[in-house]
Structure 1
Amino acid sequence: MKLSHFFHLIISVLMCISIVTAQSTNKQASSSSIPAHPSKIKFQPLDWTVPLGSPYRTELKNGLITYIAEDQTLPLVKIVLYIRSGSLLDPASKEGLASLMTKLMRTGGTSKYPADTLNELIDQYAMQFGISATETQISFSASFLSEYTEKALDIMEQLIFHPVFNLKEFEKEQKIMIQNIQHRFDDPAPTLRAAYQKQLYAGEVSSRFATEASVKNISREDLVGLHKKTFVTPKMILSLAGNFNRDSMLTRIEKIFPPSTQVPNDSFPQIAIKPKFKCLLVQKPLSQAYVRLGLPLFKRPHPDYYSMSLLNEILGGGGFISRLGAKIRSDAGLTYSIYSNAESNYIYPGTFYIEFFTKNASFSQAVALIIEEVQKVISEEVTELELENAKASLTGSLPSMFRSPFDIVSTYAWNEYYKRDPDHFKVYEEKLRKVTREDLLRVAKQYLTPDNFTYTVVGDTDALLKQETNGFSLSKMEVKTIPVDSIAALP
């Protein structure tokens, strides 16, 4: 072998050794940097400043509070209008009124545009308009190319202030709503949510929802009357952003929204949490049980909100790395999905709940493990790492609320709609940072007493009542068993 060939061979061998060594080192470094368990994941501190809402806020001469931002990055305009109303204000025996009204406002035509013409215009210009009602608000949204701004604003004015509630369209939407009601409990997930609302707010306005009878009881005149008293400028907060001149847009907006001397009654009814049964068991022939464990909480603003938010994140709100996610899903393998939620409600008191689904045969085992985890958070402090990760997770979600000028103005409009402090987001991180492990233990003891849990379950009655694990069994408590089609009849 020639000497040069020998040297080339030696060099090649050394290169191979170095590559293998580097790969081995990288693998070791990589494996050492990957947490052994999701609960060991660490979050980097957030280096970010919350934008203020005040530079975007203005109150027009007609009284309309407006959050507005120019955004020249794309030839688009986006609008969201919040109206202080909602299904909580539906009259008794006419539940579904607000929802039906908003559907007809979009589909029933206006004084200027018949329904078919309106739909053709919206499609022609590739615009999007939506109107919807929730329990505590009605919202109008629009999105369109900036070159069609004038046409879009004309359509917006017609939809908001000049719907005609065409009788033919009214009857069609009424039938569609009734058909949806007939099938709303086909899926166990919405069945569980409805039963839980009936269970925790028995007899309260928040536990009422539309039925076939209540929708049939709604007339076109009801829609006209509700619209007249709802869509008045003092009850509205507008947010918009896009490719336009701010001053010109404000001038145009002021012409759309008429001034009003009407003093709106913007209060919602008082609602209390009134658990009806220890356990509400909804009979549905399923191979799995769908479950919510619930407890009364509070109405915001409340001094314990930040502590409860962090405790919830650690217990079940943090997904796979939460205690419930790690214990019930990852370790025990009893469910694909389990989470907890400390409801953030400004209109009436919310609840704390744990929701999951599991095979019928593992129902009592899963509940027993959940109770064990709840017992732990009320008997000993969470770890410092858990608390820091929870704080990083919650503060880390803030930037997603302010990604664009439209996000900023719509977020602050929503913030004012629920009468929160203008600097709410500015002090949010500071308030979270002040929460201690002792605070979490205190709120856990105050709000998460396992003996106070109510149980709302959708599943096979016979299979679930026979089980017992570690002392937990439905047969040992007061159980109200109902067929699925009886949920609506509960008070």
Structure 2
Amino acid sequence: MKRLVISLLFLVTAGMSVAVAAGGKADPRTMSFPELRFEIPAAERVVLECGMPVYLLRDTELPIINITAMVRTGSVYEPAAKAGLASLTGSVMRSGGAGGLSPEKMDDELEFMASAVESGIGSDMGTVSLTSLTKNFRRTLRIFCDVLLRPDFSQKRVDIARRHLIEGLRRQNDDPKGISGREINRAIYAGHPLGVVPTFASANAITRQDMVDFHRRFFRPDAMILAVSGDFDRTALLKELNAAFGKPATTAPPALPDIPQPTADFRPEVIYGKKEVNQTVIRMGHLGITKADPDIYALRVLDYILGGSFTSRLTMEIRTNQGLAYNVDSRFDAGRRFTGTFIAETETKAESTGKAISLMEEIIAGMTREPVSDQELKAAKEYIINSFMFGFTSPASIATQRARLEFYDYPPGYLENYRNNIARVTKEDVLAAARRHLKPEAFKLVVVGNAAKFDKPLASFGPVRELDLGQQPGTQGGNHDIH
């Protein structure tokens, strides 16, 4: 795999060198290259005796084996009164010992073997991963399975993890970027589990038994998918996995709670957080799309043109032409189970806050008014198609990608058809998608900084709700006009 990527990079570099030698200075906007041909390496799909799907990709370049288990769980399934439960459960599964092995002994044994086992739970997926030298795989697999299926949740480690969460809550208003990221997400997902954040009350309400119950509810072999890559013997590996996960369960897995999609409520809002800083943090956006939206390929092209590259419209105007910011970008984050977001962001000096906001809104609105240029369309499609191969730079990434597609119910052939679907996007497709999905008049606008230094009042963008950053996380301040 590594040799394939290096060879492709060599061909691209060689092509650039020839172009420079032939014509002196090369203009990257007008250079052309032969089409890169890249076939996605296949991973074998097998099903264990317990019914668990496993994706296998053997690679003997290094004597290492990697495994990732993907589990159907997530913070969207935790009670709002105990926000943070999923994250703490995912952390203490590994840190709190498992299978009767104390946390300290597990740490020592893994370190001695140069192995790693990690666990975590996000919004809609739980993961447990393993990295091991081939010679130590059997023992590391046992620890991995214990963490995955038989965690002990040491009370001492539960208390430590809770204290870390609470300390993080105490500090979370220290970072203006952290504030803006949290608040834009809460605003877009208001009223939905994706918009819930932990509070001191919810953190203190979580008990060890809550973690035990949450784990027991979701972590079953028939609710998981494995991705395995590296230096293994296929027959021996499958024997080990079947022995580790056993026979099919005698009871059906509990149905996941029915979590509705976020409400598509496109109403503008201006949210201000006062921080005595010279640099204003700006976030704006609204609800986006899911992976099943037919406009997803046109929006990938739009992303590149609007705010996803160094030649994007946002970057060229706000950074290059106006000098208002070092970084500015935007992106549709296509939701896999739940509707995702569109967010544009930048940081600028306090005295140019209003100008930066107005420019961003105007540039984004411009995408809905007229088609992109032929040059923009060509550059975007070529970049997306030619960079596609970099998503498959290691056996682990290939196997994991395949497993993730099944985990999230992507249609068959999604990867194989991706480049052709991008290649078929037209200027008209981009314009139509922009008009359907970009709503700058309905942005949630989050601004964190010192309003006394702003070049124009935030109230000029709409009624302002000011955050009380001295309150506990999870509470909201009142509405105030900022002048």
Q: Do they fold alike, i.e. is TM over 0.5?
A: yes
Please point out which of 129, 143, 146 is paired with 1:141.
129
Unpaired segments of 5 or more residues in structure 1? Answer: 1-25
Q: Deviations over 1:447-485 (max 9, x none)?
A: 224322231111113333x617xxxx6335121112224
User: Structure 1 residues 321, 45: CA separation in 2 closer, same or farther (over 3 Å shift)?
Assistant: farther
1:66–1:459 CA distance, 2 compared to 1 (3 A): same
2:475 alignment counterpart: 489
Match for residue 411 of structure 1? Answer: 401
Instruction: List per-residue Cα deviations over 1:432-458 (Å, max 9, x = no partner).
Output: 111100111112222224322231111
CA distance in 1, matches of 2:224, 2:299: 31
Distance 1:480 1:239 in 2: 46
Structure 1 window deviating more from structure 2 (41-50 vs 248-257): it is 41-50
For the residue of structure 1 that corresponds to 2:237, the secondary structure is helix
Return the alpha-carbon distance in structure 2 between the equivalents of residues 456 and 43 of structure 1.
Answer: 42
Superposition deviation, residue 132 in structure 1:
0.8
Asked if the contact 1:83–1:235 (Cα under 8 Å) also holds between the matched residues in 2, the reply is yes
User: Could you say which residue in structure 1 is the equivalent of 2:481?
Assistant: none
Is the contact made by 2:318 and 2:324 (CA closer than 8 Å) also made in structure 1?
yes
1:427 aligns with 2:417: yes
Shift of 1:40: 6.1
Task: Report SS of the residue matched to 2:294.
Answer: coil
Asked if the contact 2:267–2:442 (Cα under 8 Å) also holds between the matched residues in 1, the reply is: no
- Please point out which of 112, 118, 139 is paired with 2:100: 112
Partner of 1:379: 369
Q: Normalized per residue, which structure has more helix? A: 1
Among 212, 216, 239, the residue aligned to 1:224 = 212
Which residue of the partner structure matches residue 7 of structure 1?
Answer: none
Q: Does 1:296 align with 2:259?
A: no
Residues 444-455 of structure 1: pairs in structure 2 closer than 5 A? 444-455=434-445
Would the aligned equivalents of 2:128 and 2:144 in 1 still touch at CA under 8 Å?
A: no
Aligned length: 455
Cα shift at 1:148: 0.5
User: Which residue pairs with 1:235 in the alignment?
Assistant: 223
Residue equivalent to 1:359: 349
**Distance verdict in 2 for CA 1:243–1:403, change over 3 Å:** same
Structure 1 SS opposite 2:238? helix
CA contact (8 A) 2:20 2:26 kept: no
Larger gyration radius, structure 1 or structure 2: 1
1:85–1:456: structure 2 CA closer, same or farther, 3 Å change rule?
A: same
Q: What is the match of residue 250 of structure 1?
A: 238
- C-alpha separation in 2, matches of 1:456 and 1:74: 47
User: Which of 222-231 and 479-488 deviates more?
Assistant: 479-488
Q: Show the counterpart of 2:36.
A: 46
Q: 2: distance between equivalents of 1:324 and 1:237? A: 40
Counterpart CA distance in 2 for 1:152 and 1:137 is 23
Q: Deviations over 1:116-168 (max 9, x none)?
A: 11111011111111101111111111111101111111111221122111112
Instruction: Report the Cα offset of residue 277 of structure 1.
Output: 5.2
Q: Distance in 1 between matches of 2:266 and 2:436?
A: 18
**2:322 is the counterpart of 1:332:** yes
Which residues in structure 2 correspond to 1:282-293 (within 5 Å)?
282-293=273-284
User: Which of 452, 456, 460 pairs up with 1:467?
Assistant: 456
Output the CA distance in 2 between the equivalents of 1:145 and 1:76.
Answer: 4
Is contact 1:277–1:480 with CA below 8 Å preserved after alignment?
no
Alignment of 1:170-319 (within 5 A): 170-258=158-246, 259-260=248-249, 261-266=251-256, 269-270=259-260, 271-274=262-265, 278-318=269-309
Q: Distance in 2 between matches of 1:268 and 1:385?
A: 45
SS at match of 2:243: helix
CA distance in 2, matches of 1:315, 1:341: 8
Equivalent in the alignment of 2:12: none
Q: Offset at 1:31?
A: 5.3
Using the size of structure 2 for normalisation, the TM-score is 0.89
Q: Could you tell which deviates more after superposition, 26-35 or 383-392?
A: 26-35
Q: Cα–Cα, structure 1 residues 52 and 421, in superposed 2: closer, same or farther, change >3 Å?
A: farther
Q: CA RMSD in A?
A: 2.1
Aligned to 2:384: 394
Q: Give the TM-score, by structure 1 length.
A: 0.88
| CA distance, structure 1, for counterparts of residue 129 and residue 119 of structure 2 | 6
**For residues 274 and 202 of structure 1, what CA distance do their matches in structure 2 show?**
9
Q: 1:323 aligns with which of 301, 313, 326?
A: 313
* Deviation string, structure 1 residues 81-120 (Cα, Å, up to 9, x no partner): 1001011111121111111111111111123311111111
CA contact (8 A) 1:202 1:275 kept: no
Q: Is the 8 A contact 1:315 1:340 kept in 2?
A: yes
Deviations 1:351-379 (A, max 9, x none): 21210010110111112222332243222
Residues 121 and 141 of structure 1: CA distance in aligned 2, closer, same or farther (over 3 Å):
same
